């Protein structure tokens, strides 16, 4: 009895918290609470980096695809049918631009007037749209990583993707590559929900994202592989019959979204099929000057600078960890799609770094997972403070990209070498003179636009030589008198030979402007020795009147490459644009 009484009356022992317990909990809560603020700072920073240098090159458009495809198509939709009449690229981005132009400029007439008289504002608006959509893709990548692994992985993945060089550079151009990333990331967000919860809403979000991505850029539909893997994994514990119904709904949503954003794929089906077939045939035709290493090797190399060496390696480690830890459902969602995509585009004859962008969000999430696991290991096994471990990992992951992006934005904020060359020509080459300029500039480059004071009534300052046609065949044999054949800009070097200089002089074309965007292809391709002889003859017989280099003083030139010759990643660049030379020819009509 006494024992019982003592037992009842004994004071209940209290668990004494360890001194570090509450602090650790508070620190953890503080870290979690800080993530939204860190995300906000990241989104602002990545948007600023996309907008810095947004006017580069204007009022002239030096990227051929930017000049030819999306903005011009958006302009033609004013007062005309919405049928783009070509489907080499799907029209969703052009439709978005058409709507934005209407809202920004207020009327069709205002848009057309701005586009024809001073296209700078039109292209700035279009580029800003691309930048904003790219920033939205960063936010959606965070949400996807958060759904799959937690806030930490989401934030790290968003930082890797949001500060990566390649998507930031192409946010400076009115192309569809970066806008595609927003629906790609939206589809991944829905797919993460399919894997974790399996709700019909998640399937529909995934389907809409896939459809919109494919309607913006055909290869953006690659995430359908992720959706199929998420549906097949059974990770959400949904009955198979319900999974099949919801998957069917997702595929129907994808088709509906694709047709809403690209309605003439159905309404003008024959043109759509023809356009897709033509796009496929063009990607199977190699360009003069292409890298000889092969597509797959080229894209693996692109990861090392377009995303960064450390993030690329971290993505491989993240994939390995998922497999080793038997997180097979997540592994099946994230790992196969990039592999299939690289093999698919790598087997084509043409390859450009920007074509790899649709899988960047996936690779960034894999890298983010590996990075957070490294932080946890350092803090637990090595007793490194979490803040210190996170800072060290962040430096490893992001330093390469941040340095490259800041350097590139500084370059883009300066005058393009072709603009500087043109300004020199305005002062030193008489209006109406006949010139030969290589196909590295838009057709309106010989016109005074964008508020420039025109020297002629038509605005055309000089008369350009027709470089789009040649009077020889592929073997340099002369065609019948008066006959010509069309030459694509990427095959221009194959038409050059020293005798052209005599043709120039005989027809009063006394000024020749050459640039490394064309001449560089000859020096990396042994199949056009006549082009090299042409440049040697030009340097010998012509007088060099003006020269400008995009490289820093004393820096070695960057060998021609379809990426590094236009995106200025190498540190040698100080100015955007190619190396340009202006020659003056003498003799016959050019003597005076």
- Lowest pLDDT segment from 71-80, 336-345, 351-360: 71-80
Average pLDDT, integer, range 473-491: 82
Model confidence pLDDT, tens digit, residues 193-245: 999 999 999 999 999 999 999 999 999 999 999 999 999 987 677 888 889 99
Decide which of 93 and 18 is more confident. 93
Mean pLDDT confidence for 416-429? 96
Specify the pLDDT at position 30: 43
Domain match, 352 and 435 both:
no
**pLDDT score, position 1:** 38
Exposure letters 116-145 (e unless 16+ CB within 10 A, then b): eeebbbbbebbbbbbbbbbbbbbbbbbbbb
Instruction: Let me know if residue 13 belongs to a domain.
Output: no
Last residue in a domain, options 412, 443, 459: 412
Pair (382, 456) in one structural domain:
no
Using H for helix, E for strand and C for coil, what is the string for 198-253?
CCHHHHHHHHHHHHHHHHHCHHHHHHHHHHHHHHHHCCCCCCHHHHHHHHHHHHHH
Q: Is the pLDDT of residue 456 over 90?
A: no
3-state secondary structure of 511: strand
pTM of the entire predicted model: 0.90
The better pLDDT of the pair 313, 326 is held by 313
pLDDT for 317 beyond 60: yes
Residues spanned by the domain of 63: 30-281+291-412
Q: Which of 388, 412, 436 is the last residue of a domain?
A: 412
Q: Does 134 score more than 60 pLDDT?
A: yes
> In this structure, is residue 17 part of a structural domain?
no
166, 237: one domain? yes
Please tell me the total count of domains within the chain.
Answer: 2
Residue 8: is its pLDDT beyond 80?
no
Which residues, 6 or more positions from 3, have their beta carbon under 8 angstroms from its beta carbon? none
What integer is the mean pLDDT of 336-355?
Answer: 91
Who wins on pLDDT, 279 or 54?
Answer: 54
**300 plus 319 within the same structural domain:** yes
| Separation CA 171–CA 173 (nearest Å) | 5
Average pLDDT over residues 235-262: 91
Structure confidence at residue 453 (pLDDT): 62
Q: Please provide the average confidence, as pLDDT, over all residues in the chain.
A: 89
pLDDT tens for 298-311 read 999 999 999 999 99
Q: Which of 100-104, 320-324, 432-436, 448-452 has the lowest mean pLDDT?
A: 448-452
pLDDT of 26 reads: 47
Taking 50 as the threshold, does the pLDDT of residue 9 lie above it?
A: no
Closest listed residue to residue 416, CA positions, set 84, 125, 53, 132? 53
Whether the per-residue pLDDT at 107 is higher than 60: the answer is: yes
Residue 25: inside a domain: no
pLDDT value at residue 13: 46
Top-confidence residue, 475 or 105: 105
**pLDDT greater than 90 at residue 259:** yes
**Which tokens is 81 given?**
């049918």
Return the bridge partners of 463, or none: 434
Average pLDDT over residues 187-193: 97
Rounded mean pLDDT, 354-365: 97
For residue 378, tell me if it sits in a domain.
Answer: yes
Q: Are residues 233 and 259 in the same domain?
A: yes
Residue 5 in this model has a pLDDT that exceeds 70: no
The answer to whether position 23 is within a domain reads no
pLDDT at 7: 40
pLDDT at 50 over 70: yes
Q: With a cut of 70, say whether residue 6 has pLDDT above it.
A: no
- Whether residue 435 is found in the same domain as residue 526: yes
Left if phi > 0, otherwise alpha if psi is -120 to 50, otherwise beta: which for 476? left
Residue at which a domain ends, from 385, 412, 439: 412
Tell me the mean pLDDT in the region 63-92: 90
Same domain, yes or no: 519 and 583: yes
For residues 137 and 357, what is the distance between their CA atoms, to the nearest angstrom?
12
Report the interhelical angle of 295-303 vs 336-346 (nearest 10°): 130
**What are the beta bridge partners of residue 460?**
447
- Confidence (pLDDT) at 29: 47
- Do residues 383 and 504 both lie within one domain? no
Query: In this structure, is the dihedral angle defined by the CA atoms of residues 198, 203, 205 and 209, taken in order, positive or negative?
Result: positive
Domain annotation covers residue 19: no
* Domain annotation covers residue 62: yes
The answer to whether residues 102 and 134 belong to one domain is yes
- At 454 the pLDDT is 66
Average pLDDT for residues 422-434, to the nearest whole number? 94
Identify the band that residue 324 occupies on the pLDDT scale cut at 50, 70 and 90: very high
**Residue 391 sits in the same domain as residue 421:** no
* % of the chain at pLDDT higher than 70: 92
pLDDT on residue 231: 93
pLDDT in tens, 114-125: 898 889 999 999
Does residue 560 lie in a domain region? yes
pLDDT at 18 over 50: no
Q: Read off the pLDDT of each residue in 463-488 and give the average, rounded to a whole number.
A: 84
Is 318 exposed, middle or buried (CB count within 10 Å of its CB: 0-12, 13-18, 19+)?
Answer: buried
- Whether the per-residue pLDDT at 385 is higher than 80: the answer is yes
In a 3-state reduction of DSSP, which class is residue 113? helix
What is the pLDDT, as a whole number, of residue 294?
83
pLDDT value of position 436: 95
The answer to whether residues 382 and 440 belong to one domain is no
Which range of 394-403, 462-471, 485-494 scores highest in mean pLDDT? It is 394-403
Per the CB < 8 A criterion, the answer to whether 470 and 495 are in contact is yes
Asked if 196 and 325 sit in the same domain, the reply is yes
Alpha helix (H) residue ranges in 347-385: 360-381
pLDDT in tens, 504-562: 999 999 999 999 999 988 888 777 889 899 999 999 999 999 999 999 998 999 988 88
Helix H, strand E, coil C: the string for 423-477 is HHHHHHCCCCCEEEECCCCCHHHHECCCCCCCCCCCCECCEECCCCEECECCCCC
């Amino acid at each position: 009895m006494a024992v019982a009484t003592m037992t009842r009356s004994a004071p209940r022992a209290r668990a004494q918290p360890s001194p570090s317990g509450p602090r650790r909990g508070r620190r953890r809560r503080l870290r979690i609470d800080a993530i939204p603020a860190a995300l906000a700072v990241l989104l602002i920073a990545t948007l600023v980096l996309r907008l810095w240098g947004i006017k580069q090159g204007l009022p002239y458009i030096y990227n051929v695809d930017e000049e030819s495809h999306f903005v011009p198509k958006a302009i033609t939709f004013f007062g005309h049918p919405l049928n783009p009449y070509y489907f080499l690229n799907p029209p969703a981005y052009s439709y978005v631009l058409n709507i934005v132009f209407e809202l920004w400029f207020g009327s069709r007439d205002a848009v057309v007037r701005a586009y024809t008289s001073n296209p700078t504002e039109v292209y700035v608006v279009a580029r800003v749209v691309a930048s904003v959509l790219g920033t939205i893709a960063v936010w959606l990548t965070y949400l996807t990583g958060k759904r799959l692994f937690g806030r930490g992985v989401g934030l790290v993945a968003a930082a890797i993707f949001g500060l990566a060089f390649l998507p930031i550079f192409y946010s400076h151009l009115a192309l569809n590559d970066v806008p595609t990333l927003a629906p790609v990331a939206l589809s991944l967000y829905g797919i993460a929900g399919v894997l974790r919860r399996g709700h019909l809403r998640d399937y529909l979000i995934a389907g809409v994202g896939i459809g919109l991505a494919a309607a913006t850029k055909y290869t953006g539909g690659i995430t359908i592989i992720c959706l199929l893997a998420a549906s097949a994994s059974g990770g959400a514990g949904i009955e198979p019959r319900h999974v099949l119904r919801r998957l069917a709904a997702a595929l129907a949503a994808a088709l509906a979204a694709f047709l809403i954003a690209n309605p003439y794929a159905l309404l003008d089906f024959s043109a759509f099929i023809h356009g897709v077939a033509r796009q496929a045939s063009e990607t199977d035709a190699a360009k003069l000057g292409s890298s000889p290493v092969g597509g797959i090797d080229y894209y693996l190399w692109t990861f090392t600078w377009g995303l960064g060496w450390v993030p690329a390696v971290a993505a491989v480690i993240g994939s390995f960890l998922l497999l080793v830890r038997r997180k097979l459902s997540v592994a099946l969602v994230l790992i196969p799609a990039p592999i299939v995509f690289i093999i698919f585009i790598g087997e084509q004859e043409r390859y450009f770094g920007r074509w790899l962008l649709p899988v960047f969000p996936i690779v960034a999430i894999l890298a983010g997972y590996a990075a957070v696991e490294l932080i946890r290991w350092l803090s637990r096994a090595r007793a490194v403070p979490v803040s210190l471990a996170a800072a060290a990992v962040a430096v490893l992951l992001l330093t390469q990209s941040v340095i490259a992006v800041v350097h590139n934005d500084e370059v883009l904020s300066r005058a393009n070498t072709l603009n500087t060359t043109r300004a020199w020509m305005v002062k030193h080459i008489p209006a109406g003179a006949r010139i030969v300029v290589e196909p590295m500039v838009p057709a309106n480059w010989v016109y005074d636009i964008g508020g420039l004071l025109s020297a002629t009534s038509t605005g055309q300052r000089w008369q350009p030589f027709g470089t789009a046609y040649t009077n020889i065949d592929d073997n340099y044999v002369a065609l019948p008198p008066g006959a010509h054949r069309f030459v694509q800009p990427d095959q221009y070097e194959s038409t050059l030979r020293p005798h052209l200089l005599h043709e120039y002089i005989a027809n009063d074309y006394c000024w020749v402007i050459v640039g490394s965007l064309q001449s560089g292809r000859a020096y990396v391709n042994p199949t056009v020795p006549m082009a090299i002889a042409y440049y040697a003859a030009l340097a010998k017989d012509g007088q060099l009147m003006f020269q400008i280099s995009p490289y820093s003083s004393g820096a070695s030139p960057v060998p021609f490459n379809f990426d590094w010759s236009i995106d200025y990643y190498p540190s040698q660049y100080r100015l955007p644009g190619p190396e340009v030379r202006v020659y003056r020819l003498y003799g016959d009509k050019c003597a005076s």
